[in-house]
Structure 1
């Protein structure tokens, strides 16, 4: 009969290893030093080490440590005209998703676009898209209408563009 792991069995293993660690800690605390009993307590504590990473990952998934604007529905802040580089950049892997960085001078700002990167790169001509910044408080001051910028994705220059319009935000 094959052994199937389930979340309940995983939780049981974690609880058992935690119990071993607590008992091992108690044995180490009260056992004379040096002794075989103290070494056994140390061994019981070490059994817990492989599980710690899984417990931390579980807690991080349960408790979102920080929320970003990208966790919320798309809320555009800029209207942009962007165009891919000519000739198109050679990428090791096709671009996926809508995230990239807009670079003005030596400063880069993370954005997500209203269209996937692959769509406007494939168009081969200038297109209009909307953009939302990860940190709008820092970025919006640098992006007045007609500001030129470069587009970086996967640490590679893939396009250029200019700001057409700063859009009104939900906050006013």
Structure 2
């Protein structure tokens, strides 16, 4: 019984003291050191270049198209063009008399669109607004590219410039 009480006493002493009596040197000192750490920053991908396709614009008038006479090659190799000739001897003999740019445009559109003609028109003022909007879009994209390049260069380690990062101006 005495042995049992002795074992209980010793085990309860170890339990309550947390084995601190074994480390007679005392608690260890914690040393805090501050030093800069290089952080790897993920570089953003540059946006893909904008690939715009310019639409075709047609300016059509009712002015008559000149249908000149065919060139005649002289014996010495020079070419001359007579001022007057038969309609069958012109460069475009299938054009009727008084053929205009509007007539030619309509014929070309009928060929391209299976015989149908559809017009999409704009006024000069609206065209000016569209041109100004396009310039504004170009300006925005240029500034956006500059911001991306700036942040890419700022976040590169040791102040290096990003490889292959530049803004090209296409005229």
TM-score > 0.5, shorter chain as reference: no
Report which of the two structures shows the higher radius of gyration computed on alpha carbons.
2
Shorter chain as denominator, the TM-score bin is under 0.3
TM-score (norm 1): 0.18
Structure having the higher strand fraction is 1
Which has the bigger relative contact order, CA under 8 A and spacing at least 6? 1
